[in-house]
Amino acid sequence: PAPEGLAEAPAAAFDGFAAPSARVEPDAAPDQAALDRPLGAARAQIHENYILAQTGDGMILVDQHAAHERLVYERLKRQMAETGVTAQALLIPEIVELSEGDAARLLDHAGDLARLGLSVEGFGPGAVAVRETPAALGRVDAAALVRDILDELAEQGSSGALEERLHAVLSRMACHGSVRSGRRMSAEEMNALLREMEETPRSGQCNHGRPTWVRLGLDDIEKLFGRR
């Protein structure tokens, strides 16, 4: 039965409430194999930013952007350690307008950036042509990517080992290729993300050291409701 007072309330009384901020998957209950996985089976997306997954003994809450950013970063690192980051050619090179100093600084690192899947060439004073971007990033705003890399290069300066500086740039790149907050994900996409997290080292932390997921056991949930 409805709580006292709610059953008698006219429907219009609820008109001012915002639309639900959680989207529940209409699928049937997940199979036991999925529930037995470390990160369980996706059951809902909350505020279009968090994945709610059910496990055999509780639930998992995942920050979809932070988690995917880590996965992309680890993928880029693996590629760089092997044969270099796989690049995708742009059908039409994107011209990015910069200051002459920034353009020169970026071109000074063109060889290292090519290892990271980013191909840039000079395009007159104060501009560069982006010809290739890292394939792992998918469709990406090349101008925003270039400016973010310039910010990272400025922060890093010439201090530290080259590999450390390159990894810092990769981390910036990963942010551009990750699932954004506010993006709706299907059950298949959410479960694919959970499975890749289980297979990826260090997926429990984002590139900035924050947790990508938290667990709430059934015992903890029952304590919250005074059942234990």
Do 87 and 172 sit in the same domain of this protein?
Answer: yes
- Kindly state whether residue 14 falls inside one of the protein's structural domains: no
- Kindly state whether residue 153 falls inside one of the protein's structural domains: yes
- Kindly state whether residue 9 falls inside one of the protein's structural domains: no
Report angle CA 43, 44, 47 to the nearest 5 degrees: 160
Tell me the CATH number at 192: 3.30.1540.20
SS3 103: helix
Give the position of tokens 């998992």.
60
Each residue's pLDDT tens digit, 42-60: 999 999 999 999 999 999 9
Q: What is the pLDDT of residue 159?
A: 60
For the chain, give the longest Cα–Cα distance.
Answer: 74
Rounded-to-integer distance, Cα 41 and Cα 31, Å: 9
Do 39 and 106 sit in the same domain of this protein?
Answer: no
Do 59 and 29 sit in the same domain of this protein?
Answer: yes
Do 137 and 218 sit in the same domain of this protein?
Answer: no
**Burial call 180-205: b when 16+ CB within 10 Å, e when fewer:** eeeeebebebbbebbebbeebeebee
Contact of 73 with 49, CB cutoff 8 Å:
no
- Kindly state whether residue 78 falls inside one of the protein's structural domains: no
Do 138 and 158 sit in the same domain of this protein?
Answer: yes
- Kindly state whether residue 193 falls inside one of the protein's structural domains: yes
Do 193 and 129 sit in the same domain of this protein?
Answer: no
Q: How do the pLDDT tens digits run along the chain, 228 residues long?
A: 545 544 445 545 445 545 556 656 555 577 788 889 999 999 999 999 999 999 999 999 999 999 999 999 999 999 999 988 999 999 999 999 999 999 999 999 999 999 999 999 999 989 999 999 999 999 899 999 999 999 988 887 766 667 788 889 999 999 988 888 888 999 999 999 999 999 999 999 999 999 999 999 999 999 999 987
Rounded-to-integer distance, Cα 219 and Cα 224, Å: 9
pTM of the model as a whole:
0.80
Do 156 and 186 sit in the same domain of this protein?
Answer: no
Do 88 and 148 sit in the same domain of this protein?
Answer: yes
Per the structure, the count of domains in the chain is: 2
Q: At what angle do helices 142-156 and 162-176 cross, to 10 degrees?
A: 150
Do 154 and 192 sit in the same domain of this protein?
Answer: no
Q: List the domain range (segments joined by +) for residue 40.
A: 19-68+182-224
Contact of 212 with 188, CB cutoff 8 Å:
no
- Kindly state whether residue 201 falls inside one of the protein's structural domains: yes
